[in-house]
Amino acid sequence: MTTPTTWAGHTQGGEPFRRYMDRVPLAKPFWDEECERAAISALSSGRWVKGPEARMFGEEFAKWCGAVAAVPCQSGSAALWAAMRILDIGPGDEVIVPGMTFIATATSVSLVGATPIFADIEEEYWCICPDDVEAKITEKTKAVIGVHIFGQSFSPRLREICDKHGISLVEDAAQAHGASLNGTLAGAIGDIACFSFFPSKNMAVGGEGGMITTTREDLAQKLSRLVDHGRNDALESVELGTNLRMSEVSAAIGRIQLKHIDEWTAKRRGNAIDINHSTKIRPNSEHAWHQLCVLNDNPADLISRFDSAGIDARVHYPIPCNRHQVYSEHHQHEESLEICDKVAHKLVAIPVHPSISDIDIERINSVLNP
Ligand SMILES: Cc1ncc(COP(=O)(O)O)c(C=O)c1O
């Protein structure tokens, strides 16, 4: 009999643990000895912040996704806030965001004093709807934040619309490491892109973490300034920033994870092929399968059937952003975004991560097709 392993890959024994292991989690953070060595080496260097690991992580990440520059930071939410600051977005400005996403997409806009304008999502792909974006552009609109939701690339029309109206396109790529659109990887599609390395994400850094990338030479310097109190080389604060820097230990772990991301994405894609679902993939794009969501009219029942089979599943995202209490004063709080309202509470995320086995996939399929 093989010895069971923990989530983190450490050997453990015992029946209670065995039972725990039999559950298939929705996400499973990865680390190995190389990550441990990298973390310890960063610690032993005595240089815990503002060192070579963060610099190299940024350079390697930019090269990997095809961006002009990339700067590690403390979280995906911090990256989104920084993106708003880098684009000089503030009071009086509007930024169009999808009605169905993680709330940080919208709150990053509110946190700089601007107004998020909620657009509906596409019925087929659940990303922000380009027609609704165009309908909601006003003279106050400064940017659109397109989210590659669950790892599905947003519509290529967003780029065209933003170019036509002279506004910026920000990618919320928190869930989209390795996703691509017309051959361009997430991170190199918009003016700025924001990634998250939260432990459940497609790659992680052993804690909180994020990355800001840009395709614009003129913004490259601003990226590194914003995460460091807006300071220039002479240590003068020339604009409003704060400390959003990533630690050296996290960056060292991130650099090792980056070496695995293509292989992990390929495994996610293979798993998504083997699982019986009907999610459509946008033409000329590659899905990163951060989440595999199935649309179900009775999500509570489906989740309970998964639970009985020892498989974790949950609804993403049950409440459209405009309907959250934080937006109770927002003029769109009661507005019905048709597709968001129709699907948000019915999308059930099921495991698709690289650590699931063929047997796990059989178990998942037997719940989906009893
Ligand atoms: C779409 C989206 N945007 C932003 C974030 C925020 O990232 P973080 O949790 O690293 O702040 C997340 C993370 O859950 C996300 O899924």
Read off the pLDDT of residues 220-257 as tens digits, 9 standing for 90 and up: 999 999 999 999 999 999 999 999 999 999 999 999 99
Ligand 1 mutation pick, 194, 195, 196, max ligand atoms within 8 A of CB? 196
Asked if residues 193 and 186 have their Cβ atoms less than 8 Å apart, the reply is yes
Q: Domain check: are 63 and 106 in the same one?
A: yes
| pLDDT attached to residue 22 | 77
Element (H, E) at 38: helix 33-44
| pLDDT attached to residue 279 | 96
**Could you tell me the distance, in angstroms and rounded to a whole number, from the CA of residue 233 to the centre of ligand 1?**
30
CATH label of the domain that carries residue 199: 3.40.640.10
pLDDT band at 35 (very low <50, low <70, confident <90, very high): very high
Query: Once rounded to an integer, what is the mean pLDDT over residues 22-42?
Result: 95
| pLDDT attached to residue 19 | 43
**Could you tell me the distance, in angstroms and rounded to a whole number, from the CA of residue 198 to the centre of ligand 1?**
7
**Could you tell me the distance, in angstroms and rounded to a whole number, from the CA of residue 10 to the centre of ligand 1?**
28
| pLDDT attached to residue 1 | 34
- Is residue 4 domain-resident? no
Q: What domain range is 202 assigned to?
A: 33-255
What does the alpha-carbon distance between residue 86 and residue 192 come to, in Å, rounded to a whole number?
9
Residues having CB closer than 6 A to ligand 1 are 75-77, 101-102, 104-105, 147, 172, 174-175, 196, 198, 210
CATH label of the domain that carries residue 346: 3.90.1150.10
Give the number of the atom of ligand 1 that is nearest the alpha carbon of residue 175: 16
Nearest alpha carbon to residue 239 among 254, 251, 224 = 224
Last residue of a domain, one of 238, 255, 272: 255
- Is residue 22 domain-resident? no
Residue 20 has pLDDT above 90, yes or no: no
| pLDDT attached to residue 13 | 42
Asked if residues 288 and 178 have their Cβ atoms less than 8 Å apart, the reply is yes
What does the alpha-carbon distance between residue 236 and residue 230 come to, in Å, rounded to a whole number?
8
| pLDDT attached to residue 12 | 41
pLDDT band at 21 (very low <50, low <70, confident <90, very high): low
| pLDDT attached to residue 42 | 98
* CA distance to 72, 98, 160, per residue, from 101 (Å): 22, 6, 22
Asked if residues 64 and 178 have their Cβ atoms less than 8 Å apart, the reply is no
What does the alpha-carbon distance between residue 122 and residue 170 come to, in Å, rounded to a whole number?
18
Ligand 1 mutation pick, 74, 148, 175, 202, max ligand atoms within 8 A of CB? 175
Q: Domain check: are 162 and 73 in the same one?
A: yes
Nearest alpha carbon to residue 266 among 282, 289, 292 = 289
**Could you tell me the distance, in angstroms and rounded to a whole number, from the CA of residue 245 to the centre of ligand 1?**
17
Give the number of the atom of ligand 1 that is nearest the alpha carbon of residue 108: 4
pTM of the model: 0.94
Ligand 1 mutation pick, 97, 198, 200, 347, max ligand atoms within 8 A of CB? 198
Q: What is the mean pLDDT of the chain?
A: 94
Q: Which is more confidently placed, 314 or 19?
A: 314
Number of domains in the chain: 2
Q: Domain check: are 243 and 212 in the same one?
A: yes
Q: Domain check: are 230 and 296 in the same one?
A: no
Residues 6+ apart with CB under 8 A from 5: 11, 12, 21
User: 279: which 2 tokens?
Assistant: 């999610």
What does the alpha-carbon distance between residue 288 and residue 127 come to, in Å, rounded to a whole number?
14
- Is residue 13 domain-resident? no
User: For 305-335, how does the pLDDT look when each residue is reduced to its tens digit (9 = 90+)?
Assistant: 999 999 999 999 999 999 999 999 999 999 9
Last residue of a domain, one of 212, 230, 255: 255
**If you ran DSSP here, which 8-state letter would residue 183 be given?**
T
What does the alpha-carbon distance between residue 353 and residue 334 come to, in Å, rounded to a whole number?
36
Residue 16 has pLDDT above 90, yes or no: no
User: For 188-227, how does the pLDDT look when each residue is reduced to its tens digit (9 = 90+)?
Assistant: 999 999 999 999 999 999 999 999 999 999 999 999 999 9
- Is residue 74 domain-resident? yes
Nearest CA to ligand 1 atom 12: 174
**Could you tell me the distance, in angstroms and rounded to a whole number, from the CA of residue 76 to the centre of ligand 1?**
5
